[in-house]
A = this chain, B = another copy of it.
Amino acid sequence: MPQGDVGFVGLGIMGRPMVRNLLKAGYSLTVYDIVGSAVEEMVTEGAAAASSAREVAENAPVVITMVPDSPHSEAAILGEGGVLEGASAGSVVIDMSSIAPGSSQKIAAACEAQGVGFLDAPVSGGEPGAIAGTLAIMVGGKQDVFDAHYELLGHMGTSIVLCGDYGAGNTTKLANQIIVAVNIEAVGEALTLARKAGLDPNVVFDAIKGGLAGSTVLNAKGPMMIAGDFQPGFRINLHQKDLRNALLTGQELGVPLPVTGLVQQMIGSLVNDGKGDLDHSAIANFIEDMANTKISGQ
């Protein structure tokens, strides 16, 4: 089942399982990461190594990038030794990193100027979704480029939605991350108040989860707060980056985001406390610390 050549730049926690799913689906992969050991690991699993993002692009008509934030995407695609130095007209770059929409638009413009197609296609679902190939993929770009790569994306995710033009994938991702972070904080305030009032947070959880307060966040993160178990999951450091990009985007567009701003500042305080690698449900720690109360009772 040879499926053609795909390049992949960025072999982190997310990139490696995504590469594995593409190998499994029959694609020929050429890969690059600044960390040599990650490249070697993928080579032992069947990928070909490149020594730069440019070399990846020289060897594949479709290049996927999966890096931490806007500066990394811009460096990998627009920078020296980057994808656009090696990409031919008619090739396509799919940036699956979660970055600022404005950065996606800047990269898209540079690609277009060179006759290279572009999609921003950030994901949600985390490492488990990447491993299972069940990511939700939010895409920005042109319909024809989206259609032409729908099958490719389908080997990494199950929900693949074209949300609009360049940057729309990342704008949708930011909308998602705003709601998730703020709802986690709200559950933290509610359960801390209940615990300090002497209630069993499990009883409160059971009493409210079926009503208007019910949410996927409450179901997934409430029990973690109640157990005092903040093993990631999705790390606070990454959510801080997403909210920073949300605030940046709000500023560019003239959309004040007061609660997002407040929660982003709380997260900054938790990062200062060395909690950046905890699961984002630990946003509740900010309220617990202020109230001198643990939802877990520990």
Name A residues whose Cβ lies closer than 8 Å to a Cβ of B. Answer: 101, 124-125, 136, 138, 159, 161, 163-165, 167-168, 171-172, 174-180, 182-183, 185-187, 189-194, 196-200, 203-204, 206-208, 210-218, 220, 246, 249-250, 253-260, 262-263, 266, 287, 290-293
Determine whether the beta carbon of B193 is less than 8 Å from that of A250.
Answer: yes
Contact of A175 among B204, B212, B257 (CB under 8 A): B204
Determine whether the beta carbon of B192 is less than 8 Å from that of A178.
Answer: no
Determine whether the beta carbon of B199 is less than 8 Å from that of A179.
Answer: no
Given contacts A138-B207, A186-B183, A263-B259, are A171 and B194 in contact (CB under 8 A)? yes
Q: For the complex formed by this chain, how many copies does it contain in all?
A: 2
**Docked complex Cα distance between A98 and B167 (Å):** 45
Nearest opposing residue in chain B for A290, CB measure: B256
Residues of B near A255 (CB, < 8 A) are: 189, 192-193, 196, 287, 290-291, 293
Residues of B near A210 (CB, < 8 A) are: 136, 159
Determine whether the beta carbon of B207 is less than 8 Å from that of A212.
Answer: no
Q: Which of A163, A197, A204 neighbours the largest number of chain B CB atoms within 10 Å of its CB?
A: A197
Determine whether the beta carbon of B161 is less than 8 Å from that of A203.
Answer: yes
Q: How far is the CB of A257 from chain B (nearest CB, A)?
A: 5
**Docked complex Cα distance between A296 and B124 (Å):** 26
Nearest opposing residue in chain B for A291, CB measure: B255
